[in-house]
A and B are shown apart, each in its own frame.
Chain A
Amino acid sequence: MTTLVADTRHVFQREISLILRDPFSMIFSLVQPLVFLGLFGPLLAGSVNPAAINGASPLQWFLPGVIVMICLFGTSTTGSNLLYEIMMGSYERVLAAPLHRSSILIGKALKELAPLVVQAALVTLVAIPFGFKLYPVHVLAGLLLLGVFGVGLGAFSNALAIASRKREWMFWAVQQTLLFPLLILSGMMLPLETGPQWIQALSKFNPLTYIVDAERALFSGTFDSPAIGWAVLAAVLTCAAGLWVGVKQVARSTT
């Protein structure tokens, strides 16, 4: 266990150097959610019936969705970096090192999640003057939940990268095909309550739905929501399944 933690830390350190050494990528990654919030937020405020979101500020409802979305985009694309490393050869060198196999997956996913914390903090701070109410402890809990989910999603993304290492186009085809249904069916952008029955039914099978619901509950300052329990379960299951599939793929990745 201690080696798993140390190995994960080292893989993370290596990965994060990419961001630390290149501040521009960090600046852009910070600007993106702000642009999204600034452009999509006002549209949403005009089109959503306040009753559907319990009369709160649209930001209170929308902001957690944006943060989940950043996490979704960041971790689901992490495999593309791995794919590049597989093609160039450095992945093999990392595999030849005595690193815990899951540490490679966790370390890479954490690298995608680290900027998320900074992004979330910034977006939240910017939203405060526009009527967003901050509950720091709840938000932190929400980020932790998202972290567990993100590690799982990152592991799935890396597993997909390894599976498609002999035809790279497949990675993006599968990633894009899965990303948008997951995103739309989670109610991340638009409330599902006003959608048709079948959409609502489908959304129940999407683990992301529970995460989004829980994040909304947490961002509005309550731990007292059944959604949170389900979300913890969804996040832990996603994380466990992702790592299981991922480690299996890592073991097969050199054949």
Chain B
Amino acid sequence: MIDAGVIHTEKLTRNFVSKKETIEAVKGVDIDVASGELVAFLGPNGAGKSTTLRMLTTLLPPTSGTAWVAGANITTEPALVRSRIGYIGQGDGAGHSFRVMDELVMQGRFYGMNSADSLGRARELTKSLDLTSLEKRKVSTLSGGQRRRLDIALGLMHSPGLIFLDEPSTGMDPHNRANLWEHIERLREQRETTIVLTTHYLEEADAYAERVLVIDHGQIIANDTAANLKATLAGDRIAITVDGASAAAASAVVAGRGRELTTTNGSREVTIAGRFDQGTRTLPWLLRELDHAGVDVRAADVRVPTLDDVFLSLTGRSLREEAESEVAA
């Protein structure tokens, strides 16, 4: 093993060939994840998050480069990697025609657990994931949230020290999403499990991940805690709406303090927005200055940045808009 990290990749690359055209899905990424970390891969659909995850879980061989996962090499020792990790994919992990308990017990057997241990562990998990009453049900009769909880249970059957989750909360309602995170947090507290997940939910990455890797076009474009990313890459956002007649005077005042300013013209009002350091302190000062300049201020708003602002500042695109257009399409 190259170093003590749980995950270490070297120029991990994956190309896909479609209609004679080579698409570089992941372009030589270097990732290190230490034991016990909770790391989120954040990026729009098609950014290469899932492809990276699938390489790390040995489901997809890399085109070039390599990685060590849980002390084994993904290319030369894929079976060893598989035995040491848990993987919760995007689809339904449980077969629709099977029964809940059967799937759990067989999953344990697949990982070399004996029948008694597997059954015991399955009981434990159905209890903690609120699936007890569903043990004899056919998977196809479960609701979306129940299926997702079953997926999590399947991934945890062999108590892996490292778990990969691909878009774990997609399609879950807010209540179930909160439950899921409660469970993930508990795993980390009780077992110090290392967790790597992909998400395009900004709030999730923001609230739970200790470290966020922002991925776009197959490359890692940022790698830090959510707080640091927001502080260094985004800054607070202030928007001020003024009477149309005093727009020029307002711009002159604001220009002295703000960055990345934009002006939106309404029918009779103009909104000037931009990034400011220490937004909550800057806003009262701005309002005083605008008042001095005789500007008629109609509305003012200060917003602390989100990871979307980080993404916007890194790529010039909004992650939220892309996610929404995805849903609309």
Interface residues, chain A, CB within 8 Å of chain B? 7, 10, 13-14, 17-18, 21, 84-85, 88-90, 92-99, 251, 254-255
Contacts and interface: CB of A to CB of B under 8 A. Distances in A.
Interface stretch (B1-9, B81-89, B245-253): B81-89
For B98, B110, B111, the residue with the greatest tally of chain A CB atoms inside 10 Å of its CB is: B110
Given A89-B93, A254-B59, A13 B98 contact: no
A89 B92 contact: yes
A10 B99 contact: no
B110 A254 contact: no
Contact of B82 (A14, A90, A96, A251): A96
B54 A254 contact: yes
A17 B104 CA distance: 13
Given A10-B110, A13-B106, A17-B102, A96 B89 contact: yes
Contacts of A21: 99, 102
B63 to A, nearest CB: 10
Interface of B: 16, 54, 57-61, 79-80, 82-83, 85, 87, 89-99, 102-103, 106-107, 109-112, 151, 154
Given A94-B110, A97-B107, A98-B111, A14 B96 contact: no
Closest 10 CB pairs of A and B: A89-B91, A98-B83, A93-B93, A96-B87, A97-B110, A90-B95, A98-B82, A14-B106, A254-B59, A89-B92
Contacts, number: 76
Contacts of B80: 98
Given A14-B102, A21-B99, A93-B87, A254 B60 contact: yes
A84 B93 CA distance: 12
A10 B112 CA distance: 10
A96 B92 CA distance: 13
A14 B79 CA distance: 20
Given A88-B96, A89-B91, A93-B107, 11 more contacts: A10-B109, A14-B103, A17-B99, A89-B89, A90-B98, A90-B103, A92-B59, A94-B110, A98-B82, A98-B83, A251-B61
